[in-house]
Amino acid sequence: MRQPEKATRAGLCKEISFSFEQPFELYHNAFSLCSMKVRLCLSELAIPYKSHHIDLIETGFYENIRRDFKHINPGCTVPVLLHNGHPVYESHEQIRYAASQPEADVKTLLPDDAQKRAIMDRWIDLSSLTDNPLENTHLSAGNAVPGQTLPLFTTMIEKIPYYRIAEGFLRHFDKRRPAMFCAMKFFGLDVFNKVELMKNALRASSRNMHRHLDEFERQLASESGTWILGKQFTLADVSWCVIFERLRQAESLELFVTPNNRPACHAWWLACIARPSYQQAITAHEHPIVLHGSHRLRALKETEPAVAALYAEQIGRPMNEG
């Protein structure tokens, strides 16, 4: 894998300035997990922002590797939050930064108590997406979730022509991405039978997602109150909500979370989607290609036994090691 041309430093980079129109501006993508997290956080904090939508190949084309966006983030990933023109890189840093601004009601998303803050930070880390997520699904639920997205990518990519995907072989920093998307487009969901690498990626992500969710269930059950830290909704809830949302979009949430198998997770999720921020930051940004992908998956699960079996066997129950 070729690395992005220039690594960016996580957090606020005061030494870098871009032109801006509003105090807060967000470069983001409707579908991206990390973008959803930051939108959700800004919505919870009632911080207004100027929106710059950046397409990724799965929502249309590689806008993230175009010169204009590379100028904003040489790492070529979304989201990027600007505050008075200064970029804040890495979504987990962006939410911490936003929540600690005077514009935000600090008490809303950050616990006062240092010990609780440390617990919150741990759960943020456990939901973060790091480099090479498909190889590091054991590290966090954030890394396990891209593997769960693979079936959804496969139906979303039906809408993207080959020539657009192939541009990634020339210009994307990670050549595995166009290779994976071409294979998914060519084989459809059969890719998980035909390509060992894809099958293994899905299995490993399922196995580890079950483990992460077991731990999440234990945490929720140990607190008196709906949220990860009990009575207070915090940045940790923001970060985990988008993981559940992605499982929902990928038609696998009901295999991971039911009132019977993980009751605390189930109650927590219902409480998350009842918040106005979910409507504002997630539902209002639903992308037509994502809607197509989810509808196709649902239909195929119902009509194609092989797809129902893929879900039941590869995702729906904890896997044995290996």
Interface map 162-181 toward ligand GSH (x if CB under 6 A): ---------------x----
Q: What are phi and psi of 51, to 5 degrees?
A: -100, 130
For ligand GSH, the closer of residues 90 and 217 by Cβ is: 90
3-state secondary structure 170-188: HHCCCCHHHHHHHHHHHHH
* Element at 254 (helix H, strand E): helix 253-256
In whole angstroms, the minimum distance from the beta carbon of 282 to ligand GSH comes to 14
Q: Which residue is nearest to ligand GSH (CB)?
A: 77
Q: Is 127 in the site for ligand GSH (CB under 6 A)?
A: no
For ligand GSH, the closer of residues 92 and 203 by Cβ is: 92
In whole angstroms, the minimum distance from the beta carbon of 78 to ligand GSH comes to 4
Site for ligand GSH, residues 38 to 57, rule: CB under 6 A: 56
Please choose, out of 12-20, 86-94, 232-240, 252-260, the segment that lies near ligand GSH by the rule CB under 6 A: 86-94
SS3 at position 25 = strand
In whole angstroms, the minimum distance from the beta carbon of 268 to ligand GSH comes to 22
Q: Is 91 in the site for ligand GSH (CB under 6 A)?
A: yes
Q: Which of 43, 59, 77, 294 binds ligand GSH (CB under 6 A)?
A: 77
**For 221-225, which contacts have Cβ atoms below 8 Å and span 24 or more sequence positions?**
221/264
Q: Which of 34, 88, 98, 247 binds ligand GSH (CB under 6 A)?
A: 34
Q: Is 33 in the site for ligand GSH (CB under 6 A)?
A: yes
For ligand GSH, the closer of residues 107 and 176 by Cβ is: 176
Please choose, out of 20-28, 30-38, 154-162, 204-212, the segment that lies near ligand GSH by the rule CB under 6 A: 30-38
The string of DSSP codes covering 281-302 is HTGGG--HHHHHHHHHHHHHHH
Do residues 16 and 83 make contact, with C-beta atoms less than 8 angstroms apart? no
Strands 11-12, 24-28: pairing is unpaired
Q: How far apart are CA 244 and CA 266, in angstroms?
A: 10
- How many C-beta atoms surround the C-beta of residue 113 within 10 A? 11
